[in-house]
Structure 1
């Protein structure tokens, strides 16, 4: 009996040890799940490409380019897509899981439906194909650009810096192009326009976001009857978003099915604006029933439009930034098929699929870190402020993509976040409307306290629950900083560094590829 007991105790201890080992192994292996899935996607991109090009003379190069393009798309999803849904997550309008699902769906849709025009600029607009009579050199150039930009974005994501993937890929093409054929090969007019858009886009995004926030504060938040003001103005903001989106979709996506004139596209945009404006009036009126006259009620009214704005921005981002992943791949496929470098770049559908799926996978696997950074760590966002950010960024990116200009969606979205924060600082200090509004509310609080009625005090407190509702001296207001200054310098440094770093890395990779060619 004693021997049996000893053996059973020993067996139990051994089983306990095995269980602990298994648990420890699971904990250690958990961080490796996402990289493992990413590697599987890269491998599947290569297999997917080989199905279409297995009998091509340069099939190995095309398959390699497809795998690297998939890797690049993963990094775009991990770094850039945070700008689209980060404000909605920071404003608590979306959970992280909901944001990932919405972004993945609309990023893919934007890339597949409306991603074609910008791809042409990335693949053939930066360097002059006439300077590359040898197609092998041009293929190595595009491979170097893909590898360098993907590596740089991967590094930036790892350290938590929201850099511009557009900067990275343009810098990669620039560095390899100069190394291959000298400075004369670069289309400096196109580069100048792109560089100007990098400077203009964050200021434009911030300015538009500030204008929308000024409208919301003046016309809705600091009105005595907030709910009535929201019923009047919020349908207009929703209609602006819908009309712009409809016109863009008609001009970019539907033209592959049916050709529409400029007049027809304009009429469709105006018609969508009017239809959504009317529908939004009924929707907001019904949602507003029973809501108290307080800012918390406004947040509830803005939450659903904010989700639509985030979806719109994801669509616009997919249309604009898929070029960064598949533009060089499309150029490689074109040159490999024709054995000559041309300005006309056909975009195979399978290439678009790799880019679209890669962006979505990258977001789901690695995007949470930068979503928190953009949505929560720059400035405090609520649904009203986040709606301004998303609507501003969507409008700016949509216009840029319609013009075929690869602007940085990172610059636009982060610029909009900064614009909202800096405008709040200015408005808190300088707005006479806000000052008069707060004086009335503070008087109501004092009157309620003097009456010594807990119910009246609670009622007065509900009149305003804005962040700035507490009384503050003018000196305290001047000292308030609603934007974290450290992020301004950090992000600006990352933006400035990206182009030269990607260009230098691309030049080195091009030289290495040339040595082994």
Structure 2
């Protein structure tokens, strides 16, 4: 007998409610993706309001307000792309969570930019292009075009997953606008030649230094029979080396204008710091190593605190150095609009510094995690020992380059160090006699290179560095200066035609 109680009507209400629920979920998902851009737009509006409050009664108020918005946009892009290199090693090694890394970096970037960033702004605003070669109005539009060109390219690079040098972006943009405005003689070509040389020097030197430190750690600690005893002996030395190099790095680069010491004095300060750190690290490491098992996993605990400090110090130094990329042109525009003179006023308004400092931190918080994950986890696998080598390489490379008088890019150095660690691991895995003896002594399996050579697919699978990222990042580095230069020149021509 048929079931007479069966429902014959369509459950339209249930279906409609289900559709509404799905629409709400989709709307919620989309709205979450719009939160970061929305907050960014709010920050741009705040930057315009703040700048307007300070310049509304003065000459050139409209162009200064517009420049403040573009500078704020540039600062956020710097935070999204460039800052990630400072904390990526610690995050990739799981010494810091993503949230902790973002908070530490945002605070230290702000402090570095606001309190130590004023001394490096003149190079961007007046060092690349000679302001005396063009009228003030032309100089203003050149700086505006440079800001916009560099900001857009950094935004595109971040979206594409390519960490680039924001310094190279703004330098190329200022160069292109300068050529369009004042001709080739307006550009300081020896400075540009040094910057071009750093394309090659920075990543190679960073990778080499990181590989050398990783080699030392593997030989003296990781492939020793008693890892913990070796760590008690060598980790204090490594921590002291990191502390000394970072203090000297801060004195040489971001704090040079404040401290005013020479390179020899800066190195002496670093040496004293290293000795004091070693004296404190010996008992600390001894306490930390009590009860640790004789395996590689135990060593990670000993490198965690140095990695946290390295992320903080690198972020402070980056904020002090690279805030100029955003507010250098803005400071030059403010000076030119107010005084009707092309150039740069050594006294940077506090509201200009504030826009740069907060913009970098906000960009990091809103858009930084994407490249943090890429650099810290997707190029090659990092553990605390490898991440330590990457962080230390950044400080050592800047010190070496400063001593030799070579300009280097912190981004190229850090990313080059990550690649250097990965490529070194590939070489060491196949060629280290110590590693082979260590594995055989413990009865482990060791696959010879000939096995991989007979199986190309297996060889490709076992590569420790992702080649696709290597090609993408290298291509982005190569085209940054010429691309931003050409776009900036075109933008300047357009701005001159519309408003000149």
Cα distance in 2, alignment partners of residues 310 and 387 from structure 1:
10
Moved more, 341-350 or 321-330: 341-350
Match of 1:235 in 2: 236
Moved more, 88-97 or 355-364: 88-97
Check 1:164–1:141 CA distance in 2 against 1; reply closer, same or farther (3 A cut).
same
Match of 1:145 in 2: 146
1:473 matched to 2:448? The reply is yes
8 Å contact 2:211–2:420 — kept in the other structure? yes
Cα distance in 2, alignment partners of residues 258 and 217 from structure 1:
38
Q: CA deviation at 1:267?
A: 4.5
Check 1:145–1:493 CA distance in 2 against 1; reply closer, same or farther (3 A cut).
same
Q: CA deviation at 1:37?
A: 0.2
Cα distance in 2, alignment partners of residues 427 and 374 from structure 1:
21
8 Å contact 1:122–1:323 — kept in the other structure? yes
Check 1:397–1:303 CA distance in 2 against 1; reply closer, same or farther (3 A cut).
same
Q: CA deviation at 1:10?
A: 11
Q: CA deviation at 1:491?
A: 1.3
- Specify the SS of the correspondent of 2:323: helix
Match of 2:133 in 1: 131
Q: CA deviation at 1:78?
A: 0.9
Cα distance in 1, alignment partners of residues 31 and 263 from structure 2:
55
Match of 1:115 in 2: 117
Match of 1:4 in 2: none
Give the counterpart of 2:36 among 31, 34, 51. Answer: 34
Q: CA deviation at 1:262?
A: 6.6
Structure 1 unaligned segments of length 5 or more: list them.
1-8, 446-469
Give the counterpart of 1:508 among 476, 490, 493. Answer: 490
- Specify the SS of the correspondent of 1:57: coil
Match of 1:413 in 2: 414
1:66 matched to 2:41? The reply is no
Match of 2:3 in 1: none
Spell out, residue by residue over 1:302-325, the C-alpha distance to the aligned partner (whole angstroms, 9 max, x if none): 122112122222222222221211
> Between Structure 1 and Structure 2, how many residues are aligned?
482
Match of 1:486 in 2: 468
Check 1:119–1:256 CA distance in 2 against 1; reply closer, same or farther (3 A cut).
closer
Cα distance in 1, alignment partners of residues 478 and 266 from structure 2:
38
Match of 2:438 in 1: 437
8 Å contact 1:330–1:345 — kept in the other structure? no
Q: CA deviation at 1:73?
A: 0.6
- Specify the SS of the correspondent of 1:381: coil
Moved more, 47-56 or 403-412: 403-412
Cα distance in 2, alignment partners of residues 149 and 407 from structure 1:
19
Q: CA deviation at 1:20?
A: 5.8
Cα distance in 2, alignment partners of residues 378 and 510 from structure 1:
37
- Specify the SS of the correspondent of 1:396: helix
8 Å contact 1:78–1:363 — kept in the other structure? yes
Q: CA deviation at 1:268?
A: 3.4
Match of 1:349 in 2: 350
Cα distance in 2, alignment partners of residues 262 and 373 from structure 1:
35
Give the counterpart of 1:84 among 83, 86, 94. Answer: 86
1:497 matched to 2:479? The reply is yes
- Specify the SS of the correspondent of 1:516: helix
Cα distance in 2, alignment partners of residues 386 and 173 from structure 1:
34
RMSD: 2.6
Moved more, 387-396 or 252-261: 252-261
Spell out, residue by residue over 1:392-434, the C-alpha distance to the aligned partner (whole angstroms, 9 max, x if none): 1233356768999764322111100111111112222222222
Check 1:311–1:192 CA distance in 2 against 1; reply closer, same or farther (3 A cut).
same
Cα distance in 2, alignment partners of residues 402 and 335 from structure 1:
35
Cα distance in 1, alignment partners of residues 400 and 79 from structure 2:
21
